[in-house]
Every structure is written in structure tokens, then in C-alpha cells.
Chain A
Amino acid sequence: MEVITRGGVITEPGNSVENKTGSWRVFKPVINYEKCIRCLICWRYCPEPSILKIDDEETKMNTPAPKEAMKRLPVVKIDYDYCKGCGICYNECPVHAIDFVREER
């Protein structure tokens, strides 16, 4: 049994990460890297946030991109542990690089 702390203080910042909200998902966004222009608009608007911006050289170079020059830019990656499947990224992507498919479990 957990004991309630004095004043209800929570001493571990951001421990909501233990709560895997990916189980809420009915539809799932899937990034099509052949189309993704790395504009980061999905990252900007993800409310969880469950879209990560990855800036390491290896990922940037090894992820497909519509143009070679775009490989200098950070890559977006969906963290399915938390993505609730709201579909904002799918709706906002300017080049329709995100598919929104029924989740299969």
C-alpha cells in the first residue's frame, strides 16, 4: 500500500511516463519516410508529446528522405508507448506523409 505523502507532494517529476497511454489508440499514425520532408509540424503539434525529434547523425542519414539534402535535418519518430492516436499529425502533415491505419493488437 502506498502511503500518501505530506501535502500530497509528488517527488518524482514527470512520473506520468509510467502510464502507457498508447493503449488508448484505435487508429495509428505511421510515418512514410519516403515522403516526409522533416518539417517538424507533427512534432510541433503532438499533444502527448509522443513524437520525438531525433538529431543524431546516424539516424538522420540512415532514414530515407524524398531528397538527399533533407538528410541534414532532424528526423521525427512516433513513440507508440504514448501515442493516443488523436490523428492531429496525420491531419496537419503538409505532404500527407503520415498514414492513419486501424490499430491491430
Chain B
Amino acid sequence: MNYENQEFFAPGHGMCAGCAAPIVVKWVLKLAGPNTIVVNATGCLEVATTPYPRTAWRVPWIHVAFENAAAVASGVEAAARAKGEKLNIIAFGGDGGTADIGFQALSGMVERGHNVLYVLYDNEAYMNTGIQRSSATPWGAWTTTSKVGRANPIGELRPKKPIARIIAAHNASYVATANPAIFNDFKKKVEKALQTEGAKFLHVLSSCTTGWRHDPSKTVEIMRLATDTGIFPLYEIENGDIENMRITYKPKEFKPVEEYLKMQGRFRHLLKNPEYVKKLQEDVNAWWEKYGHHYKK
């Protein structure tokens, strides 16, 4: 059955205008269909979609805590298995809830091979509590805990944690990075993840107008630039075979990273110093030099 014309995520939710997370969620649910149970870590998505007594979810949904979405999803999956029910068990977590505080639970879920699709919607900081840096915050980004000023003109000083590769190293059945702005690739990966047995992990880029500091209408355009500049590469890794990772999308022509930076307030300070822009460009070039041969048409 194709459920693309149905909405399992209802309007009336309180996510900011222009937030990308609902775009990710509505499509994952459309592709999964009604036979689905969702587990949601604490974060904007959970807080803003379920202010009691209202919910935007039209599929069974559970929230427990910030750190244990993967543990709860493991339990739901084990129960469904014990009852002989075939269901899509899908967990959604933010970057804080996934790469930081929920990492241990996620590591356990993947290592035990639970038949769960875990979707990280990565807005690159702890947005719901007011834009604190996480291990997924990229180098050079302003956040309220990587402030920019005379003492530190750069902002975040650590590079982004390669969470998809780390989860792949657990021998997860399927791991992919995805970007809803590169829609066909995103959709294919969600479908593939849903069809694969075992622990699946999708790392999906998700712009936050509030934390990235951009006009809400620019959400998709900026996310597209994240991949077209090479900053957020799209790849997939099956059964932990990192050596054979497959880059699934390559822009016809890479755009300069500056085009991505200049559209977001969180990076604006970097433009004052060409050295910073150059450093980021060199980081991107180095990534593609090292991994670019993994691109397969």
C-alpha cells in the first residue's frame, strides 16, 4: 500500500514556522504507513507536538525521557516480536538526544540488533532549551554555549561528531545520511531503511530557523546548500561495511562553502575573517579527497 497521500502528522503543532523537523517526520510516516509505533526522545519535536492534552501524531506514539528513546524502542520492538506482530518501530531523536545523552541507549539498541528505525533529526544544537552546543554542532557555529566575542571569535571549536559512521561501526544493518532538500535520495533511503531487517539509523539534516538564524522561507534552500557545498555529504553504509560506504549523491558542481555560511546568522561572524572561511573550505575539500571515490552513480 502507498500512503503518500495520507497525513499521519497533523497540523496545529507548535514547531516554529519554517522548522524542517516536521518535513522529515511527515515523510517518514507517509512512507511507513499506519502500521507504525513511534518513540520520541525529549526535544523540540516531542515538546512542540504533544502539549497535553493535544497531539499531532496520528500513529501510536510514546515519550519517555531525553536519554532513553532507543531503550524504549528496543522494548517496544521486543514486545511486538513476542506477540508475533509485524510493525514499523520508529524512534525520533534530536542531535542532543542521539549523539550525546541518548548515545549509550542507542549503542545498545544497535549492538543488540533490534529491528528499529532510529531517525536522528539533526539541527546541530540543543534547540528546545535555547541553542546550546552539542557534539553535532559544527566548527565555527555560534550557540549560547559557544559564544562569539573577543575571547573566542570562532564560536564552536570542535568539529562535528561523525555519528553515522560511529553507528555503522556497530554493524548496523543500514546507516545513511540524508537531507530532505535532496528529496529523491532522502526518500529512497527512508524506504530502504524501512525494508531492511535489523537496526537502522538515518542521520537527517534538519534546519532550525531559530538556532541557525535564518528567514523561515530559506529552510530548504539552506539545507540544499549544505549538501551542494559538500558540507553535509550523503552516503550509506550496510552491515557495518565502512570500507564500502557508498556516497549516493554528488553535486554536479560544488558550491563554495561561503554560500552556505552567509545565509545563516550562526556563521555570520566567520565571514569577517577569510582565514575561517578558508579553513572550512579546506576541511570540506579534505573530506572529499579522502572519501570522494566512494561515490557510485
Contact = CB atoms under 8 A, between A and B. Distances in A.
Nearest to A44: B183
Size bracket of the B interface: 35 or more
B217 A87 contact: yes
Interface centre among A2, A47, A85 (most CB of B within 10 A): A47
Interface string A7-27: 010101111111111001000
Interface residues of A, number: 37
Contacts, number: 104
B219 A88 contact: yes
Contacts of B22: 47-49
B219 A86 contact: yes
Contact of A100 (B10, B180, B217): B217
A56 interface: no
A30 B71 CA distance: 45
B17 A13 contact: no
A18 B50 CA distance: 13
Interface stretch (B55-63, B128-136, B157-165, B284-292): B55-63
B9 A49 contact: yes
Given A10-B54, A48-B22, A87-B18, A82 B11 contact: yes
Contacts of A45: 23, 180, 220
A34 interface: no
Contact of B5 (A15, A53, A86, A87): A53
Contacts of B283: none
A71 B10 CA distance: 28
Given A87-B215, A91-B217, A4 B52 contact: yes
A17 B55 CA distance: 9
B258 interface: no
A49 to B, nearest CB: 6
B210 to A, nearest CB: 12
A79 interface: yes
B17 A24 contact: yes
B53 A21 contact: no
B172 to A, nearest CB: 28
A85 B56 CA distance: 19
Contacts of B209: 86
A47 B55 CA distance: 16
Interface of A: 2, 4-5, 8, 10, 12-21, 24, 44-50, 53, 55, 79, 81-82, 84-88, 90-92, 100
20 contacts: A14-B58, A15-B55, A16-B10, A16-B11, A16-B49, A16-B56, A21-B11, A47-B19, A47-B21, A47-B219, A49-B9, A55-B5, A82-B11, A82-B12, A87-B215, A88-B217, A90-B217, A91-B218, A91-B221, A92-B221
9 smallest A-B Cβ distances: which pairs? Answer: A87-B217, A16-B12, A14-B10, A82-B11, A86-B18, A84-B17, A19-B12, A86-B17, A47-B22
